[in-house]
């Protein structure tokens, strides 16, 4: 059982995770088509004057008017930290990289263990903040269901169990098994649940052209 979890199951999880994302990506391009422009957006073609650094900074600050940064700066910082730490911590964790090296013969750069520990703690604190928002903020509670709590748990569980395992609290063997299982569950669910916004955030905001897309979107549904 333990051998299966530590060996084949992780491989299966990675395969499903990658194939699931590839499938969703292909489906997205199948469902959308290239956008035809009725009137060419002429403003894009006008050569802009070179801006000085000061003008550039003023323009960036002005572009933040009315954004989430202005309406809820705490949430902006917390959500940015949460997402960066959520992705960076497992990728650059020393323990994971040693396992990568042992099984596949290559490894990524690793953070010092104390830094990884802090980043994990940041993910957990942000997770508690999101849980609090969901529980106590009327507007979030109005659109929350059990599913939302389960998905939050799926996202945070690998970090909680990883933190417990690193500090060797409780029975290490059980905790590390739970850590692997929760990680596998997260990989399984990313392509098929709302965690899919990991991929679709980029597809929606870079490819679909609408008011808030980051670039001039080239595709339409």
Partner 1 sequence: MTHQEIKPVDTKKIKEMLNQRKGKMKRYLSHCAHCSICAESCFLYMSHNKDPQYMPSYKAIHSLGKLYRKRGKVSRDFLNKIKGIVWRNCVLCGRCYCPIGIHIPSMIAFARNICRSQEVYPQLDEASSESWL
Q: Least CB distance from residue 43 to partner 1, whole Å? A: 20
Instruction: Tell me the pairing of strands 219-220 and 33-34.
Output: antiparallel
Distance of CA 183 to the CA centre of its chain: 14
- Of the candidate spans 5-13, 23-31, 37-45, 49-57, the one that interacts with partner 1 by CB under 8 A turns out to be 23-31
CA distances from 146 to 82, 125, 131, 159, 216 (A): 21, 21, 12, 21, 37
Is residue 143 within the footprint of partner 1 (CB under 8 A)?
Answer: yes
Q: 84 CB contacts (<8 Å, ≥6 apart)?
A: none
Q: Least CB distance from residue 141 to partner 1, whole Å? A: 8
Question: 181-210: which residues touch partner 1 (CB under 8 A)?
Answer: 193-194, 196-197, 200-201, 203-205, 208, 210
Is residue 74 within the footprint of partner 1 (CB under 8 A)?
Answer: no
Is residue 125 within the footprint of partner 1 (CB under 8 A)?
Answer: no
Question: 155-184: which residues touch partner 1 (CB under 8 A)?
Answer: none
| Cβ–Cβ < 8 Å for 41, 216 | yes
| Helices of type H across the chain | 2-4, 10-31, 53-63, 68-71, 73-91, 94-104, 113-136, 138-141, 146-166, 172-189, 197-207
- Of the candidate spans 7-15, 36-44, 65-73, 168-176, the one that interacts with partner 1 by CB under 8 A turns out to be 65-73
| List of residues contacting partner 1 (CB under 8 A) | 27-28, 31, 68, 71-72, 75, 79, 133, 137-144, 148, 193-194, 196-197, 200-201, 203-205, 208, 210-213, 221
């Amino acid at each position: 059982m333990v051998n299966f979890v530590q060996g084949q199951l992780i491989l299966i999880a990675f395969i499903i995770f990658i194939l699931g994302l590839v499938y969703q990506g292909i489906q997205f391009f199948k469902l959308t088509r290239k956008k035809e422009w009725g009137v060419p957006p002429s403003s894009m073609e006008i050569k802009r004057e070179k801006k000085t650094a000061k003008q550039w900074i003023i323009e960036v600050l002005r572009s933040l008017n009315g954004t989430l940064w202005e309406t809820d700066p705490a949430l902006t910082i917390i959500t940015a930290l949460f997402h960066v730490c959520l992705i960076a911590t497992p990728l650059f964790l020393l323990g994971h990289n040693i396992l990568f090296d042992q099984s596949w013969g290559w490894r990524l750069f690793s953070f010092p263990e104390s830094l990884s520990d802090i980043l994990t703690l940041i993910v957990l604190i942000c997770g508690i903040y999101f849980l609090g928002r969901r529980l106590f903020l009327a507007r979030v509670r109005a659109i929350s269901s059990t599913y939302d709590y389960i998905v939050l748990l799926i996202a945070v569980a690998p970090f909680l169990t990883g933190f417990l395992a690193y500090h060797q609290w409780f029975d290490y063997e059980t905790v590390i098994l739970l850590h692997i299982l929760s990680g596998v569950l997260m990989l399984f669910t990313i392509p098929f649940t709302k965690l899919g916004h990991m991929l679709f955030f980029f597809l929606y905001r870079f490819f679909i052209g609408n008011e808030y897309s980051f670039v001039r979107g080239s595709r339409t549904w």
